[in-house]
Chain A
Amino acid sequence: MSRRVAALLGAGLLLGCAGDGRTPVVVYSPHGRRQLALLEREFERRRPDIDVRWLDMGSQEVLERLRFERVNPQAAVWFGGPTTIFQRGAEDSLLAPYRPAWGGDVDSSGIGPGDLYYPVYRTPAVIAYNDRLVAPEDVPRDWDDVLRPRWRGRVLIRDPLASGTMRAIWGLILDRSLRETGDTARGMAWLRALDAQTAAYTLNPAILTEKLGRGEGEVTLWELADVLVSRARGEPFGYVFPASGTVVIEDAIALVRGAPHPEAARAFIDFVGSDEGQLLTARHNFRVPARRSLPADSVPAWVAEVWRDMRVAPVDWARLAREGAAWMTYWDQHVRGTGARRGGA
């Protein structure tokens, strides 16, 4: 048996040591294999001297990684995550300033202070539903529609503690409450009512897909990109933009401070936001580009639809960044699980 182990060890080491002379660029990203592999392939085609190595992890995990690796940075590029998280990275001195070639073509509100990060995609939240189980006339049209009795115990919610999008939606509700009443109480009451509608909190997109597809819930609040990707794979999912406006998260990219091979890293960043990069991910991964002046005829139809139908709700991002944590803690401690649910848990 020890001989077998030694052989395996040897094989492993050999494979490990196989370098090939290309410049490695390590990218930490939550965007997932499909998108990252696509971008890697296309970028390496244009730059065969660069080897893109991506590691797939949540944006929160990227932040922590970068903290630990501060003294010995492994990653060159942080690609993906809400700008709120990038802001924390910037405050922690983990990022290096870089204005990409396409830097002037995005909304300046999403750009980090001192050019520390730039928005690449816009991620709108939508109301999604199982179109086999929900008749077109029943589809909820706005946030408050989700609180109707029809949906009691039929709503699936991605756990807001784990999802930037959900936090943003929560922020939208609470922000609205603050603007209307000067207090978060009404917002929390709304969220409590939503809790009563909730069949399950899921933490994982795969579970959400399964549950929604199997009919364990009929309605959910989700990111547009995920809905479209699932639809493209045959899932019976439909979506609407909330009539009163939805949150749109700016999804950013940044150069890591002390990155190895910064030149190659910058080339990658340039590619991601370039015309080809943005169109590629729009076509194959359903990411809404942050770039404003892409050639209109090459933009896929669904993007044009989004630009037409989507209404963006105003959110005080600064306040969300300041008080979001406290709101989430309060929600977790005092609201989650308190709305009466069907069947209980």
Chain B
Amino acid sequence: MIPASTAGISFPATLLCLAFIFLVPCAAAGLALISTGLGRSRSAAHSMMSAMCVLAVAALAYFVCGFAWQGFAGGPAHVASVGGKEWNWIASVPFFLRHQALDGSPASLVALLGMFSVGLAALIPLGSGADRWRLGACCASTAVLAGCTYPLFAHWVWGGGWLAELGTNYGLGRGFVDTGGAGTIQAVGGLTALSIAWILGARRGKYTREGLPTAIPGHDSVLVMLGCMLALLGWLGLNSAGAILYNGAEPGHAALVAINTVLFAATAALTAAVITHTRFGKPDASLTANGWIGGLAASSGASAFVSPGTAAAIGVLAGLLVTFSVEWFELHMSVDDPGGSISAHAMGGLWGVLSVGLFARIPAMGGAGMQASGPGGQWLAQLVGIATLIGFILPLTYGLNWLLDRVYSQRVGAEGERQGMDLYELGAGAYPEFIVHSEEFTER
């Protein structure tokens, strides 16, 4: 691995990297549209307002302390010595981006990409908390995610932390590899979405007294599909910028990354469409959209290190995983996730992380060609990363959000759910000239 801060990148590569990073907000816009479209019409304005506030709070929290704790490879950090090896736990960059040259240096590009990435991660729980998550609680939870949870894991992976150093310290391949944030952005955001869904509980009327789920369809499939198109644009930038900044890829490598990203999304979405068509007689738009996003989430793991054929195969498996896990979460785990965020981002992201260990051909240290990941090497590093996400990040994000819920209730009251979040929290609906809802989804 070439540490971004010490290797430096050429001027053309810097320009290209900036252009890629400027595409990332398209992914945020896409996710906001998807969450809104899959929610109810009576909460549409609230959903978009929440998305904007979440992006703002995430950027602010990342500016205040997020980047200071994430840091960058080769930057100042707190290191503990365990068993004669150095364990890099957390960065020690000054708060408020002080003393940081914001001049196109690799560290400044990392800060910019991090600011957009943390917003993307913070948007993911909006899908699982749709129609019942208070605006103030969204913002407070985002501050916790962007100021604490995300920077900690991002430092371990992208800031020269102990996960990134598993290769150097213990000979596990090239250490934990995550091209564009399958673990760092998607899985962290997806596991936070799971925590939020657990803490909030299901929407009123979602489950019958016998525990069977009722269908509460999204209100606008057009918004959802438009969101998917925008998300693809953002992911092209995210994966390409990540490959250059965090993995030392040459700018020309972005062509492979982009082709693979499209193939991941395409095969995952088509798989979801075929599965739903086979099972239900017609393809399901929302599950196909979830498959698309799940494919994109998985692409962030290995898109820089697999051939297009392998990318297509991983995408097919991502589509299968996401489609069945949506049903599994709703039916068997009783988790009400209106936006499918947990399946698309957590499951897709974790699969993307694992796929690096199973299929990636990663350049050797020093960039001398490509080598196959050896047994006991890269796959074990990826497994350690997954174990860290589930064994440490999930309890951490659940615990912090549970504490927040004790101080400031995250779920809106029953009257708010009945009226809709728009009227209750914002005082006006998204579509004031139309009668857009009825009481057909009240509990039976």
Q: Do A and B bind each other?
A: no
- The residues of A with any CB-CB pair to B shorter than 8 Å are none
- The residues of B with any CB-CB pair to A shorter than 8 Å are none
